[in-house]
Structure 1
Amino acid sequence: MANLRDTVKDYQEELRDGIAWVAFWKTGRSWNAEYFHLEMGDILYPEDRSRMEEIKQADPAAVVVNGYYSGYLGEDRNLDELTAGVRRHYENGYSNIGEFIEAHDDRLPPELIEEARAAAHAAGLPFSEKAYRGGEEPDPYLFDGSMSMEDYELMHRMIEKERSERMEETILSGYLSNLGKYTEGRPAGEWVSFPTTAEHLKEVFDRIGIDGKNYGELHITEYQSSIPGLAGKLTELESLDELNYLGELLKMQFDDDREKFAAAITYGDHTRDLQDIINLAQNLDCYWIYPSVKTEEDYGHYLIEELDELELPEEAKNYFLYEEYGRDAAINDGGRFTEQGYIYNNRNTFTQWYDGRDVPEEYRVTPQPPVQEKEQADLDAAAAIPTTATEQPPVLPIILSSEKPANKMKEITDRLEQGILGIYESDRYADYLRTMSKFHDYSLNNTILIAMQGGNLVKGYKQWEKEFDRHVKPGEKAIKIIAPAPFTVKKQVEKIDPDTQKPVFDKNGKAVTEEKEIQIPAFRVVSVFDVSQTEGKELPDLGIKELTGDVEQYQDFFAALEKTSPFAMGFEALSGSIKGRCNYEEKCILINEGMDELQNIKTAIHEIAHATLHDIDKDAPERPDRRTREVQALYSAFQNVNHFKEC
């Protein structure tokens, strides 16, 4: 049994400072106490009102007192004086709990409440006294007594129904097109919504004719998404499995996460490719978002009034520059104002859940095409086809079996490596180099890829139409080459003074940083078509003459070569079929006597290349082997001779 003095002792701080209201009541001969706080406007919280009703029922004489507002109490009273003050209130009926409830209860008259409740139920809606009284939405995850249990359950059923309808919305869809039929002028495609199933995708493939044999390539010509900005981040070469992976992740998001994801897409620091976006969907805890903040002024008010970043006197608030304060804070955050609110990166660890290699098994939906024959078999078959000196060899495109862009890049670079090895390990230098000499605008890798596939002069599908008034023939398969696909990322770097070229420091000695966009080099596989695969307006003759005949201004040309040569040059009768020799020990170049002028020029360039590139200690590790040296010299000769012949 607790006496009044011991009970008051437990609540003496509250009774002295007046920060809470304390109820005292008796059950039998034992004293009890409990403290309460009022809402803004001195209104009882619904749950506190319910608790006070229980206390009133247990002891109608219960009192509710406050050290600041109630007499006989306060900060200057000791424990005995506080005990006496509470007893006086209780025995004289001061501060009765019933009167306190009535004075701090803003509930509407019962008849009005019931009328509003009936109207809500007639419309099939839940009713909340809290929302009806002050326009404040009830917390769906907290039962606070402002709703009946039936209304609370109805609210949750409606929330679940709305969420289900949102889940059924098309989060992401793409138009899948048969690339082969597109090039034939017979477009075939269909919209697919993600996430999807392997069975549905197989049906789509069958309808648009993707069979892995006659037609194995598809591209996605258009995207649609209920998430603003997402469609614009995706390319026509995306992996269907990765799109399905992303679709499943977005489907599982709650509304708040969906809004944050949309804002993060606009923010843009992890959106360079689909792999990045998949990881972004699983790292939303790396961002803070304030949905109500849409402008710099909004942000200033939010920081001052909601987060209490600065303690401003009330009279100063009318003169405070909220917009400027919000602008400075946003710059420091590196944040961005979006349709969904203000968002910034909170610098939590961004975890790479998906490495871009293997999509988890449960998200894979792409039908697997039949295994294609390897490109080397195609090249061997092409080598067996007899052709005349002027006949254009057949175009034999590389058939890529991979679906993902990253895997396509690996597959084509593997084929490229095989092609380069084929050059080094065979005697077909001239065939490859003759092709290379025509491609002044292509990298060495693409030149080899084009040559491997029998190409001569290649352009993109649209380029042939727009620039040359030619069209790709029906049924032609594209040649695969590698194209640059750089992307930019935002990065915080030290700010450099443009005058001193040294880092800038703030008043505290910390290095000042600024956000810069940095371009990251990357590549992707693209489709092009050879001139022999097109028809239309005639092109100028691209043929190369035989390596025979005289050279205009031969004496001047040869004299110029002699000046550029690091070794002395001369003519001498060489044995056998040797046309030239580079002597590294004597620092001289010898050219076989009796050859025609054009062959002399070609041999001179070849041997000058040796002298320039390979005058290195024979035992030096960086010196190429003999076969490599010959390819390098032969490449230089073909490039230069064929170039000058076309001039």
Structure 2
Amino acid sequence: MTTRTRNTRPRQTPEQRAARVAELTDKLNGAIAELTEGEQWTAMLRTAARFHRYSFRNTMLLLLQAEEREATISRVAGLHTWRAVGRRVRKGEKGYQILAPLRRKLGDEEAAKIGPEAYTGDGQPKKVVRGCKIVHVFDVEQTEGDELPDLPTPDALTGGDPAGLFDRLADLVSAEGYTIERNPEDGDTQGWTNYATAVVSVRPDVDDAQAAYVLAHELGHIRARHDERAISRAQRETEADSIAYVITAAHGLDSVTTSAPYVAGWSEGDTEVIAAAAEIVHREATRILAELEGDTDGPSEDPENADPENADPENTYPETAGPESAAAA
């Protein structure tokens, strides 16, 4: 028989809860701003700008070749790009083949036959694709040299769950009609929500504090109605993790080093994305805190821009947190 930890926190007034949510949200936004204004972030963006985003066709070519070699690829580039970022391909490494377009400028007669669409804005004939050629690229694991600057990764919370937060959040998730599972995961995936089957999963091999955080994140997705609203993935993740931060921080878990890199990665430090999430985060975090204290005020209201036809049937946390790698683009 499992014994649940009773909530011993003093009940707050609605005004106190709202003030606490505002205080914690400001703290998170400050940490995000500090992170995204730093030299490490700037260096990461400068480096990322040198890497191509490959077409679906070339991405599939890369993945198929990696599978044949029983290798894993993450960030790929040509010899010149690797040199430009201070790395070199090791001698004897075999490159991956991709297709690069062959472009040439239209001749005057060709452009005249095609018409106005054959010219640029300044009246010059455009360049057009006339076939493809094979070029070779190399994965970062085939190179050596300077370390590549990366976006700081979220820290997993460690330790226990003294406030019994996981069980209390589980009650709220169940009240929304969802079943909670503890499914093993590969890689960095911590948990997910499948809206179609009404299942929320949290991986079992994490500390209790992290499990509570992940469940708060998934509840954030549910309460913000991310199965219905036509918003970007960046805004969905920004809202859910901001809600998770407020809930866990209000219960004594030091989660800013978890949330700040995650939200910064998804929002790319875009203050407009963060600002667009503010109202939902404040409303739902305040409501969840009230319900955790036993002060219920009814179900969440659906946001005005709900759009069931744009539903995302499954959400995974975290799939990634930051700019996409070249191989995955």
Smaller-chain TM-score bracket = 0.3 to 0.5
- TM-score, normalisation: structure 2: 0.33
| Higher RCO (CA-CA < 8 Å; seq separation 6+) | 2
User: Over alpha carbons, which structure has the higher Rg?
Assistant: 1
- TM-score, normalisation: structure 1: 0.19
